[in-house]
Amino acid sequence: MLAAVTTMSDKVTRAAVPKRGDVIDHAWAPLAKQPLPAGRPRSWYIAHNRRLKAMRLAIALLDSGAFGPEVATNEKIRDTAESIGVHLPSDATCRMVRRMMQAQR
């Protein structure tokens, strides 16, 4: 969900995702991060953070013009991670990035 930022104040109001054809005439900002739910096993948090990192990297690769998993080598993924300011991904995270780029959803 996105939050609309009002122009002359620091107040943030909740706003729905704009519908097709709606004109966006104000700035948008992402919602503040919330803490992860407590009580899950450590492996869940590790997998969750790995998925988030893989999504960020896949989006950055797509934005840079690498549209297929065959183009996304470990070296290219790691170069992209360095350029967007993310810690270098492991081999497992690189595989996850390629799988995300391969998905036909």
pLDDT tens for each residue of 31-46:
677 888 899 999 999 9
Q: How many CB atoms lie within 10 A of CB 96?
A: 21
Looking at residue 2, what is its pLDDT?
A: 47
Same-domain status, 68 and 94 = yes
Give residue 65's pLDDT band: very low, low, confident or very high (50, 70, 90).
Answer: confident
Same-domain status, 15 and 46 = no
Name the residue with higher pLDDT: 34 or 12. Answer: 34
Per the CB < 8 A criterion, the answer to whether 77 and 31 are in contact is: no
Q: How many CB atoms lie within 10 A of CB 81?
A: 21
Same-domain status, 3 and 25 = yes
Beta strands in the chain (DSSP E): 2-5, 12-15, 28-30
Same-domain status, 50 and 95 = yes
Task: Report how many domains make up the chain.
Answer: 2
Residue 67 in domain = yes
Same-domain status, 46 and 26 = no
Same-domain status, 66 and 47 = yes
Same-domain status, 67 and 92 = yes
Looking at residue 36, what is its pLDDT?
A: 86
Residue 95 in domain = yes
Residue 36 in domain = no
Amino acid at 82: E
Residue 46 in domain = yes
What phi, psi does 26 have (nearest 5°)?
-150, 165
Structural domain span for residue 52: 42-102
